[in-house]
Amino acid sequence: MKETTTPYESSETGDVPYPLAMRKGETKSTVVSVGDVEIGGPSLHIIAGPCSVESREQILEIAHAVKAAGATGLRGGAYKPRTSPYSFQGHGEDALRWLAEAREATGLFVCTEVMEPGRVGLVSEYADILQIGSRSMQNFPLLKEVAKSTRPVLLKRGMSSTLEELVGAAEYILSGGNPNVILCERGIRTFAMETRNTFDANAIPALKEISHLPVFADPSHATGKREYVPAISRAAFAAGADGLLVEVHSDPEHALSDGRQSLDVGTFARMMEPLNRIANAVDRTLQP
Ligand code: PEP
Ligand code: MN
């Protein structure tokens, strides 16, 4: 059998179609530094917080709670990609300011979505990690713009995207000059109707083999149901994920977006101990 360096032999560019994003036989993995936090190294990291930043008080309260439970990063949307134009669209720059205030108050790094190329500069002023949402994974002008930012990028898999398309999207960011990309499996569309999406656990070892980039999992969007989030979080760590992006809310029933899949702060705190044991079982540590 022919020796190959890539599973994507049919690509028009030949042997290594995505030379910056793919391993090319390298055993070393990329570590993305966010302040003094190292993502993709021996420690696993959890980025937690609400789907949307709803108010200054809400994000501060949740930031303190997830920090106490062991998260290292804070999530929260300021610009929200919503199916309906009548749904809450995010508080924009106010929300970015509140996120920055929550970072000052807790020491958590901030991860938030940027949807428009024209706002990459603004979001980069406040955020530590720029999130590219599932719906934007192949927004090539946006990828080219975040490639020019000095901020690391959390690149979420499109809901109907192949792993090759995800790796190709990462290649846009790397080739544009930003080497700090974290891939994120967030569930894909299938015929399974009991969950919002289907968590593709295969994606984790597959991406680890194909690419040297860190791989995160989002058990919240992958399931759409908060009661499945602890189990899928454990599955993600068991499969080799470098971290989790988890939706946590102080009052999930009244959340302005994604309440059904948001953990309350108590449940989030209680899921840490079993996660710690899974981390140890795969020779990693879950560090607060
Ligand atoms: C989110 O993280 O709140 C979000 C919108 O996720 P996704 O892009 O994966 O749907
Ligand atoms: Mn959400």
At 178-211, the pLDDT tens digits run 999 999 999 999 999 999 999 999 999 999 999 9
Residue nearest to atom 10 of ligand 1 (CA): 134
Q: Which atom of ligand 1 is nearest to the CA of 51?
A: 3
Q: What would the two tokens of residue 162 be?
A: 């192949």
Q: For ligand 1, which residues put their CB under 6 angstroms from it?
A: 51, 77, 81, 133-135, 156, 186, 218, 221
> Residue 108 in 3-state DSSP?
coil
Q: pLDDT (tens digit, 9 = 90+) per residue, 16-52?
A: 899 999 998 888 999 999 999 999 999 999 999 999 9
Q: pLDDT at position 24, please? A: 87
Angle between helices 163-175 and 203-210 (to 10 degrees): 40
- Answer whether CATH 3.20.20.70 is correct for domain 32-286: yes
pLDDT for residue 2 is more than 50? no
Q: Quote the CA–CA distance of 269 and 242 in Å, as a whole number.
A: 19
Assigned token pair, 242? 């470098």
Return the best residue to mutate from 51, 139, 244, 256 for the ligand 1 pocket (most ligand atoms within 8 A of CB): 51
Closest ligand to residue 75's CA:
1
Domain ranges of the chain: 32-286
Chain centroid to CA 146 = 15
Tell me the β-bridge partners of 110.
74
With tokens 């009661």, the residue in question is 227
> DSSP for 191-212?
S--SSSSB--TTHHHHHHHHBS
Residues 240 and 216: beta-carbon distance below 8 Å: no
Residue 270 to residue 7: CA distance in whole angstroms: 40
DSSP state of 253: G
Q: Kindly indicate the confidence band of residue 288, based on its pLDDT and cuts at 50, 70 and 90.
A: low
Mean pLDDT, the chain, integer = 95
Ligand nearest to the CA of 261: 2
What percentage of residues in the chain have a pLDDT greater than 90? 92
Instruction: Look at residue 4 in the predicted model and tell me its pLDDT.
Output: 47
Work out the burial of residue 77: count CB atoms within 10 Å of its CB; fewer than 13 is exposed, 13-18 middle, 19 or more buried: buried
Provide the b/e sequence for 16-31 (b: ≥16 CB within 10 Å). bbbebbbbeeeeeebe
Residue nearest to ligand 1 atom 1, measured at CA: 51
Q: What is the value of pTM for the model shown?
A: 0.96
Ligand 1 atom at minimum distance from 186 CA: 9
Q: Which ligand neighbours the alpha carbon of 197 most closely?
A: 1
Q: How far is CA 222 from the centre of its chain?
A: 12
Give the per-residue pLDDT at 3.
47
Give the pLDDT of residue 38.
98
Residues with beta carbon < 5 A to ion ligand 2? 51, 258
Say how far residue 10 (Cα) sits from the centre of its chain. 29
